């Protein structure tokens, strides 16, 4: 069933947990409620250490949705899961996924060792993720045109810009990657999976704070898209929203060449951290893309965050490239 591709970004980094998997058979007849409203589970999209995603259908309207179910073992887990739902609806932007409904369900039986489950009802996207398209295209090296890449990527940057402009303080997505971009039928990219999102600007004063942030990044930020400053967090340093700009640079490279520029190191078993810290970005010799595209990628993949542009600078570069590309089409 094609729907099994949907929302891969929610579970691409999850670890399988057989105990949590027993919470539902996803047999097509099981009914699950969100705030008293019944939904039929159509299929299990994915499962992981602490959450699963099911494709569900409203029993009354027959409309399809994605239901993310987060297992919570503590009050802190509940707080984090509910905050994720809040992030979905904080922005009200076309390039950021909304959360249609959310509920917290307490558990008190021995079959379910978790104390509760947070359920996020989310829109269903038939086309799946940007990563799905890249995987399909990579089989035959079927490159996306430069104009379409820039048009989609600009909207991706628009969504990140809204996140970076959050009040009362800027936020960072911290796991920006093609698997976390849903594609609408009109080619609109929509960011999802805000489990890694948090306050963008942080001052690290002590070694203990550096270790906590580095461990958190290792747990929540995909390695091939993780900014260099998150691999080796130093005390007496600062981190800001430009961690997302690095990730966006990796996304743009992947939109051109199907994978992050650091995916090859991961596949070889080499140190991704060393590859990232080296700052060496290789482009294929026979490329269908302009020098302007490559320069945009290079500017976002500056190892030094201080030399990396903020998102407004990225948008300025895109807007400089688009007219030239459109005139050649």
Q: What is the mean pLDDT of residues 225-250?
A: 96
More confident residue, 20 or 226: 226
pLDDT at 26 over 90: no
Question: Would you call the peptide bond into 168 cis, given omega within 30 degrees of 0 as the criterion?
Answer: yes
CA distances from 137 to 132, 134, 142, 154, 170 (A): 9, 5, 5, 21, 35
Catalytic residue among 175, 193, 240, 244: 175
The reply to whether 175 belongs to the active site is yes
32-43 residue pLDDT tens = 999 999 999 999
Cross-strand pairs, 55: 43, 66
66 SS3 class: strand
CB 6 within 8 A of CB 125: yes
C-beta atoms surrounding 68 within 10 Å? 27
pLDDT at position 18 over 60: no
Please report the pLDDT score of residue 22 as a whole number: 33
pLDDT value at residue 17: 33
What is the per-residue pLDDT for 71? 92
Gap between the Cα atoms of 16 and 49, Å rounded: 5
pLDDT, position 111: 60
Distances (CA, A) of 111 to 22, 24, 104, 119: 9, 11, 18, 19
CB contact at 8 A, 84 and 24: no
Q: What is the pTM of this model?
A: 0.87
Q: Please work out, in degrees rounded to the nearest 5, the angle formed at the alpha carbon of residue 249 by the alpha carbons of 279 and 239.
A: 75
């Amino acid at each position: 069933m094609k729907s099994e591709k949907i929302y891969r970004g929610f579970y691409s980094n999850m670890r399988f947990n057989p105990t949590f998997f027993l919470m539902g058979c996803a047999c097509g007849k099981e009914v699950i409620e969100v705030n008293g409203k019944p939904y039929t589970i159509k299929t299990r999209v994915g499962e992981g250490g602490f959450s699963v995603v099911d494709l569900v259908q409203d029993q009354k309207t027959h409309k399809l949705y994605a239901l993310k179910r987060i297992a919570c073992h503590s009050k802190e887990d509940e707080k984090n899961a509910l905050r994720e739902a809040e992030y979905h609806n904080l922005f009200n932007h076309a390039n950021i996924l909304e959360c249609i409904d959310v509920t917290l369900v307490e558990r008190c039986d021995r079959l379910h060792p978790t104390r509760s489950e947070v359920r996020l009802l989310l829109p269903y996207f038939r086309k799946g993720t940007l990563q799905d398209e890249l995987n399909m295209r990579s089989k035959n090296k079927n490159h996306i045109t430069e104009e379409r890449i820039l048009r989609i990527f600009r909207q991706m940057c628009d969504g990140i810009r809204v996140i970076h402009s959050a009040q009362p303080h800027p936020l960072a997505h911290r796991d920006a990657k093609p698997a976390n971009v849903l594609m609408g039928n009109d080619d609109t990219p929509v960011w999802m999976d805000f489990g890694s999102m948090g306050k963008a600007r942080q001052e690290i004063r002590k070694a203990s704070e550096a270790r906590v942030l580095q461990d958190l990044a290792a747990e929540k930020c995909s390695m091939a898209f993780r900014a260099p400053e998150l691999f080796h967090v130093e005390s007496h340093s600062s981190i800001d929203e430009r961690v997302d700009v690095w990730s966006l640079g990796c996304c743009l490279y992947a939109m051109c060449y199907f994978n992050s520029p650091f995916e090859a190191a991961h596949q070889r078993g080499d140190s991704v951290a060393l590859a990232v810290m080296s700052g060496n970005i290789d482009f294929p010799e026979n490329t269908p893309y302009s020098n302007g595209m490559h320069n945009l990628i290079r500017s976002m993949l500056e190892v030094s965050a201080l030399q990396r542009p903020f998102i407004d600078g990225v948008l300025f570069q895109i807007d400089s490239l688009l007219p030239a590309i459109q005139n050649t089409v």
